[in-house]
Amino acid sequence: MSSSIPRSGAKPNSAGIPLAWLQLSHQKGRLVAAVIGIAFAVVLMLTQLGFKDALLSSVVVMHQSFIGDLVLISRNYQNQGFPNGFSETRLYETLGSPAVDAVYSLYIAGTDFKNPVNRKNISMYAIGFKPTTALLNRPGIAENLPKLHTIGMVLFDSLRRPEFGPVSELFEQNGIVTTDLNAKRIDIVGLFQLGTSFAADGHVVMSDETFLRVTGQKAGIINIGLIKLKPGADLQRTKAELAGILPPDVEILTKGEFVAREVNYWDNSTPIGFVFGLGVLVGIFIGCIIVYQILYTNVTDHLPQYATLKAMGYRDGFLFKIVMKEALILSVLGFFPGVLVSFGVYALARRATLLPMYMTVSNTIGVYVMAAVMCLMSAVFAARRVKAADPADIF
């Protein structure tokens, strides 16, 4: 009889070592294989969730940086890639409310940026507004705003992908970088920091006049309106008041609602949510198969020992608990290596994609819960083999 079962009539666990652990550790190679398999499933789940969170958080970095309290957009606004314009007059109409302190017009459009070294065109988002107030609260914008009064001068996003060329390095060396944007000459006269996202690999900020010259967009048709309220004004009451007087071709949102709308679009109206959710399910499926095979084989190999325990008077429920404990032990042993490996994967992903990919407490806890459930589900199916342990077969 295997040494994993106490002898001399001793009850299981009487030696102070859990029987479930004795069963698992009896064959070290099989235990290591199980831990590696669960760790792989954990890495897969954490990586999928990490990418999803990074992509969704990156697409609203610009939105979160806007000044103001309320946001005015076209009723046909989809996302920052398809912002759809509306008449600037609608924004000025909000000044009729005594709670409104100031309004700001903002333009957004996709453009073709020419790499100043290899002269290749790369898609980049252009952001334009009157260079009197920094509409984005990002490093490098406010201090460089006076430089944008001259048409053709722009600020370049230093947190961009490498395909745009060594623009930051050239600027540091020469103090100015000349290239083309939508086949129009521009001079990069400053750097700011915004970052890449799923929707944009880089950004340039410019005056509204430069924006209209570069994009050809019609004057007076803006993409986003920012509304700043007077101190003490009630946000929701003002929003409701403005919604009641504005025509139906525009929609007014709080800044938080605007951010949530963008996240909801990318999560539910694009394949992002489905693809990464599917990746998590694949991780659970792989883990279930691995754990089931390990536990099923373990139970099968120890059927004589389980039959002995039955002959000693232990019921199936007690034997089921042993298998469940094995599953929980495996979930813990596989989880921590998986988390450690995931930290390395996150670091590599941040360097490669420039996305804000970081481990979160909620994702970590959620993945362990999924790993534990995964192991317990596998244990339920594997434990059915215990019923086959018949004491008559060994006596």
> What is the C-alpha separation between 355 and 21, in angstroms, rounded?
41
Whether residue 124 contacts residue 164, with contact meaning beta carbons closer than 8 Å, is answered with yes
> CB neighbours of 31 closer than 8 A, spacing ≥ 6?
24, 25, 333
CB count within 10 Å of CB 34 equals: 25
> What is the C-alpha separation between 228 and 19, in angstroms, rounded?
66
Residue 9: phi and psi, rounded to 5, are: 70, 5
Check residue 71 and give its pLDDT: 96
Q: What is the DSSP string of 230-241?
A: PTT--HHHHHHH
Distance between the two ends of the chain, CA-based, in angstroms?
Answer: 13
Check residue 392 and give its pLDDT: 56
Check residue 87 and give its pLDDT: 95
Pairing of strands 121-129, 203-207: parallel
pLDDT by position in tens, the chain (length 395): 444 444 444 455 444 457 778 777 777 888 888 888 889 889 989 998 888 888 888 888 899 999 999 999 999 998 887 788 999 999 999 999 999 999 999 999 999 999 999 999 999 999 999 999 999 999 999 999 999 999 999 999 998 888 899 999 999 999 999 999 999 999 999 999 998 877 778 899 999 999 999 999 998 999 999 999 999 999 999 999 999 999 999 999 999 999 999 888 888 877 777 888 888 888 888 878 888 888 777 777 767 777 777 777 777 778 788 888 888 888 899 999 999 999 999 999 888 877 888 999 999 999 999 888 888 888 888 777 766 656 655 55
228, with CB counted inside 10 A (0-12, 13-18, 19+), is middle
Check residue 101 and give its pLDDT: 95
Amino acid at site 133: T
Check residue 17 and give its pLDDT: 57
SS3 state at 101: strand
Pairing of strands 121-129, 100-114: antiparallel
Check residue 7 and give its pLDDT: 44
Check residue 393 and give its pLDDT: 57
> What is the C-alpha separation between 359 and 35, in angstroms, rounded?
21
Check residue 3 and give its pLDDT: 42
Check residue 389 and give its pLDDT: 59
Which residue in 260, 253, 116, 127 sits closest to 174, CA to CA?
116
Check residue 43 and give its pLDDT: 92
> What is the C-alpha separation between 288 and 130, in angstroms, rounded?
57
SS3 state at 203: strand
Check residue 295 and give its pLDDT: 78
